[in-house]
Amino acid sequence: MAADSTRPAAAIAAPSTLRLFWRDFAANRAAVAGLAVLVLLALAAIFADLLAPYSPYEQFRDFVRVPPVWDARGNAAFLLGTDEVGRDMLSRLIHGARLSLFIGVAVVVASLALGIVLGLVAAFFPRWPAIVILRAMDVILSVPGLLLSIVIVAIIGPSLANTIVAITIVTLPNFVRLVRAAALSEKTRDYVVAARVAGAGRLRIMFRTVLPNCMAPIIVQAALNISNAILEAAALGFLGLGAQPPTPEWGAMLASAREFLQSASWIVTLPGLAILVTVLAINLVGDGLRDALDPKMRSG
Amino acid sequence: MLSFLIRRLSVVVPTFLAIAFLTFVAIRLVPGDPIEVRTGERGIAPERLALLRHELGLDRPVVVQFLDYLRGLAHGDFGVSISTKEPVLREFFTLFPATLELALAAMLFAVILGVPIGVVAALKRGTVLDYALMGTALAGFSMPIFWWGLLLILFFSVDLGWTPVSGRIDLLYYFEPVTGFMLIDSLLSDQDGAFLSALAHLVLPTIVLGTIPLATIARMTRSAMLEVLSEDYVRTARAKGMPPFRVVGIHALRNALIPVVTVIGLQTGMLMGGAVLTEHIFAWPGIGSWLIESIERRDYPVLQGGILLVSGLVILINLMVDLAYGALNPRIRHGR
């Protein structure tokens, strides 16, 4: 677990400060708890095929809407019950973890990569490239996020892949602005001037000299954006504009089970609970990272 | 101040035009022709299709259609809904009060609860109470609000039968809208029980939409409060024997609220996104439901005009927040 959790720090800190980082991070017990939950979720997602007792798509027609096992009418064969067409809830939730975490990571990796390039360009080429990039980000930011992703998905069609594209576009300005601001403040430091005097090229200064020193706030932002992306993807799924049934995406599961809210509430409550726990765990880790990486942003 | 205003406007106007252009072009790319969608599976004769497309101007070059659209915008013409034949702007202003009423109620809920929670957590820093409040706030911040809405319906409407499930008021009551705000209109209508009915309909959507802003404000207030409480002037106020309530309420809170107000200003866009989900769950007849339905009906003019109006609103509010800061803080005005 320790090796896993310190991996993000490896990118920004020399090995000697790694232990320092872990000490700061571990001081926040809530963050460690969040990390533990997150690791469990990640393991469930990776080994979904081994862990899930059934296929998430298999319909047991004789066992439709069986309540979870703690209910008197429950069935030990289906620990968390079955849904409206007799699919095993546990299996669907486990496979849903894979989808949701994948969406979150994919969105953040894509917008992080694009955001770093665009943000650095905006910081180092202040004339028209910066103006074009920043104006484009202003345009994205002036349409409310969820609304923009709804419109994008409506245009390119509702699907899991398009959900990722839409949320990446919506998330992009956060990273571009953050990278640019961080790069601008680093750019004038002595070590950058020294690198330039020593004859380092512009690309080298951008990516090798400045970027590593901007990573702390970027990593915190990345962590918090994973949870945001998961929430938005679930919201799109819930509106019928994200992953399409029968995909076991948590938001889509909620939407298709809505009419059973009264008679079979577990079909609705469990996927939502899964979203809440996942997002909460990631936010706890994000808060912990922020406290450990950036003393200035410490919440108190 | 004038040059600051001009500088801000030189950013805002192109942004607005860019959104107009992008929504216009993008919505042309939506799969499915609006006429074919409306005629459904019955099909339509090719010559009748051509006639209808011609009537709606869909057969002209896209550039011509866009210039035409811009000319219309300049005259306040945001197009006509394909499905209802109503002007988009009129539909927007008919439905907007419903969203505004919900958003204002949610913001009020968030501020009234969020600020005291943040203050108490800051004053009791490091105690069980602090951890409990901030833990709850983080859970609220992480909440999938569409699920939260369903849970509240399940508990308060289905199990307890306290609140209605959807809409803005019982069908029992009918009156012509005066202000568009159901709470005010129901009072003006003089019908017994109308106000209570409207209020009961508003409670759950308010909680659902207000949850994330509430959590954000509580967290923000706590950290701003912690910062202010360690300032010298607070210590001075304490040292000169001022009662704790006055120190917190007058010296600390007033300054702590400055960043909090910023956050409240920034929540407008988020609130519009949340309104889409909240309205969808509670069948609240506002802008959010309207836009979602327009997607299902492939009603281009509504989607295009609606997005443009909503973004225009967000841009306008951000501009006003900016100008307010510029007026208050010369460093922002002369910066850059």
- Per-residue pLDDT at B243 exceeds 60: yes
Asked if A142 and B318 come within 8 Å (Cβ–Cβ), the reply is yes
Give mean pLDDT, residues A126-142. 89
Q: What is the reported pLDDT for B41?
A: 59
| Whole-complex ipTM | 0.83
Check if B147 contacts A (Cβ < 8 Å): yes
Check if B103 contacts A (Cβ < 8 Å): no
- d(C-alpha A237, C-alpha A160), whole Å: 9
From the list B159, B163, B190, the residue with the least C-alpha distance to B174 is B190
Check if A238 contacts B (Cβ < 8 Å): yes
Check if A254 contacts B (Cβ < 8 Å): yes
- Partners of A104 on chain B (C-beta within 8 Å) are none
- Per-residue pLDDT at B28 exceeds 90: no
Give mean pLDDT, residues A205-214. 86
Domain A27-297 fold:
MetI-like fold (1.10.3720)
B269 against A293, higher pLDDT = A293
Name the residue in chain A with its Cα closest to that of B293: A239
Q: What is the reported pLDDT for B171?
A: 76
Contact criterion met (CB below 8 Å) for A243 and A160: yes
Asked if A254 and B146 come within 8 Å (Cβ–Cβ), the reply is yes
Asked if A151 and B19 come within 8 Å (Cβ–Cβ), the reply is no
List chain B domain ranges.
88-328
Which tokens belong to A152? 């994008």
Residues B104-153 pLDDT 10s:
999 999 999 999 999 999 989 889 999 999 999 999 999 999 999 999 99
Asked if A139 and B29 come within 8 Å (Cβ–Cβ), the reply is no
From the list A62, A64, A92, A88, the residue with the least C-alpha distance to A77 is A88
Lowest mean pLDDT among A114-118, A242-246, B88-92: A242-246
Check if A251 contacts B (Cβ < 8 Å): yes
Q: What is the reported pLDDT for B114?
A: 93
Print burial letters for B288-323: b (CB count within 10 Å at least 16), e (below 16): bbbbbebbebbbbbbbbbbbbbbbbbbbeebeebbb
Asked if B223 and A261 come within 8 Å (Cβ–Cβ), the reply is no
Name the residue in chain A with its Cα closest to that of B273: A146
- Partners of A154 on chain B (C-beta within 8 Å) are 30, 295, 303
From the list A291, A263, A211, A200, the residue with the least C-alpha distance to A65 is A263
- d(C-alpha A191, C-alpha A196), whole Å: 9
Looking at CA atoms only, how far is residue A29 from chain B in angstroms?
Answer: 11
Asked if B27 and A155 come within 8 Å (Cβ–Cβ), the reply is yes
Q: What is the reported pLDDT for B213?
A: 92
B307 against B59, higher pLDDT = B307
A8 against B9, higher pLDDT = B9
**Could you tell me the pLDDT band of residue B38, with boundaries at 50, 70 and 90?**
low
Give mean pLDDT, residues B98-106. 92
Enumerate residues 6+ apart whose C-beta is below 8 A from A169.
A140, A148, A149, A152
From the list B61, B50, B52, the residue with the least C-alpha distance to B25 is B61
Q: What is the reported pLDDT for A1?
A: 41
- d(C-alpha B274, C-alpha B209), whole Å: 6
- d(C-alpha B146, C-alpha A271), whole Å: 12
Enumerate residues 6+ apart whose C-beta is below 8 A from B325.
B332
Residues A20-65 pLDDT 10s:
788 888 888 889 999 999 999 999 999 988 888 888 888 888 888 8
- Per-residue pLDDT at A287 exceeds 70: yes
- Partners of A151 on chain B (C-beta within 8 Å) are 23, 26-27, 295, 303, 307
Name the residue in chain A with its Cα closest to that of B23: A151
Check if B226 contacts A (Cβ < 8 Å): yes
List chain A domain ranges.
27-297
Check if B5 contacts A (Cβ < 8 Å): no
The fourth-level CATH superfamily of domain B88-328 is: MetI-like (1.10.3720.10)
Chain A contact probe: residue of B9, B146, B222 with most A CBs at under 10 A = B146
Collapsing DSSP to helix, strand or coil, A80 comes out as coil
Check if A275 contacts B (Cβ < 8 Å): yes
- Partners of A268 on chain B (C-beta within 8 Å) are 147, 150, 154
Chain B contact probe: residue of A139, A162, A177 with most B CBs at under 10 A = A139
- d(C-alpha B208, C-alpha A239), whole Å: 16
- Per-residue pLDDT at A3 exceeds 50: no
From the list A53, A57, A104, A148, the residue with the least C-alpha distance to A281 is A104
- d(C-alpha B93, C-alpha B309), whole Å: 10
Name the residue in chain A with its Cα closest to that of B155: A262
Query: Which among A155, A234, A299 is the nearest to B26, CB-wise?
Result: A155
- Per-residue pLDDT at B236 exceeds 80: yes
Check if A27 contacts B (Cβ < 8 Å): no
Angle, CA of B46, B50 and B53, to the nearest 5°: 135
Q: What is the reported pLDDT for A299?
A: 44
**Could you tell me the pLDDT band of residue A2, with boundaries at 50, 70 and 90?**
very low
- Per-residue pLDDT at A300 exceeds 50: no
Residues B244-294 pLDDT 10s:
878 887 778 877 777 777 777 777 777 888 888 999 999 899 999 999 888
Query: Which among A144, A155, A258 is the nearest to B273, CB-wise?
Result: A144
- Per-residue pLDDT at B165 exceeds 60: yes
A82 DSSP β-pair partners: A88
- Partners of A241 on chain B (C-beta within 8 Å) are 295
- Per-residue pLDDT at A15 exceeds 60: no
- d(C-alpha B140, C-alpha A87), whole Å: 30
- The average confidence (pLDDT) of chain A is 86
From the list A58, A64, A61, A59, the residue with the least C-alpha distance to A81 is A64
Query: Which among A144, A235, A283 is the nearest to B141, CB-wise?
Result: A283
From the list A52, A44, A148, the residue with the least C-alpha distance to A100 is A44
Lowest mean pLDDT among A1-10, A27-36, A86-95, B218-227: A1-10
Q: What is the reported pLDDT for B335?
A: 57
A270 against A299, higher pLDDT = A270
Asked if B303 and A235 come within 8 Å (Cβ–Cβ), the reply is no
Collapsing DSSP to helix, strand or coil, A88 comes out as strand
- The average confidence (pLDDT) of chain B is 83
HEC profile of A176-230: HHHHHHHHHHHHCCHHHHHHHHCCCCHHHHHHHHHHHHHHHHHHHHHHHHHHHHH
Give mean pLDDT, residues A149-160. 87
B87 DSSP β-pair partners: B80
- Per-residue pLDDT at A279 exceeds 50: yes
Check if B138 contacts A (Cβ < 8 Å): yes
**Could you tell me the pLDDT band of residue B76, with boundaries at 50, 70 and 90?**
confident
- d(C-alpha A142, C-alpha B310), whole Å: 9
Enumerate residues 6+ apart whose C-beta is below 8 A from B270.
A144, A145, B212, B213
Looking at CA atoms only, how far is residue A231 from chain B in angstroms?
Answer: 6
Residues A183-202 pLDDT 10s:
988 888 888 888 888 888 88
Check if A235 contacts B (Cβ < 8 Å): yes
Which alpha helices (DSSP H) does chain A contain, by range? 2-10, 15-26, 29-46, 48-51, 89-124, 128-142, 145-156, 160-187, 190-197, 202-204, 215-238, 250-256, 266-293
